[in-house]
Amino acid sequence: MRAFVAVDLPVELHEKITEIQLKFNDFKFKFVSPDLVHITMKFLGEVPESSIPDISKALDNVKCEPFQSHVKGLGVFPKPKFAKVIWLGCDGNFELLYEQIDNALSSFEFEKTLHKFSAHATLARVKYLPKKKKTDFLDLLDELKDMEIGYMDVNSIKLKKSTLTPKGPIYETLHEVILK
């Protein structure tokens, strides 16, 4: 099964996420449903179902106090002129949380992340952006780059199963770790 470790964005931010996504309605992007928007802390990839209890037990060893995150600003990967992903910025103690998760799962030999961890929540995937719309897109990005989304308490991480379907992914929480 496809699995990952995530921090969910709270329901209180879903309305603001919808507002932002509506601003991009002129573009044919693949939007993430607001109730599925999350911060991926570690993508595990395909894991045998039999290893889920051991992964869950390992995640129980994560030591990180709960913290508050300021969700603010819009950005893209890899860069504005060649955007593939539109994301929300998230600050807070995510680096420590990431290190703790990475250390807790080190014995499983999951593939190492090639880039530096950057806490973000994906809003949309850009499959195609016509040249004639690129300027409008870049202007909108510039307008929203410092947009205020809100605050959230980060007090748990979740091990999730991801089932890909033609209508989009279905996420199921397999295990939750309350931060203390």
- Sort strands 85-90 and 156-163 into parallel, antiparallel or unpaired: unpaired
Active-site residue, from 38, 70, 115, 175: 38
Q: Are 108 and 15 in contact (CB under 8 A)?
A: no
Name the strand (E) or helix (H) holding 124.
strand 120-125
Q: Report the DSSP pairing between strands 156-163 and 2-8.
A: antiparallel
In this structure, are residues 37 and 71 in contact, taking their beta carbons and an 8 Å threshold?
no
Output the CA–CA distances (angstroms, integers) from residue 115 to 5, 43, 61, 112, 118, in the order listed: 17, 13, 24, 9, 9
Of 14, 70, 120, 175, catalytic: 120
14: annotated active-site residue: no
Give me the active site residues, please. Answer: 38, 120
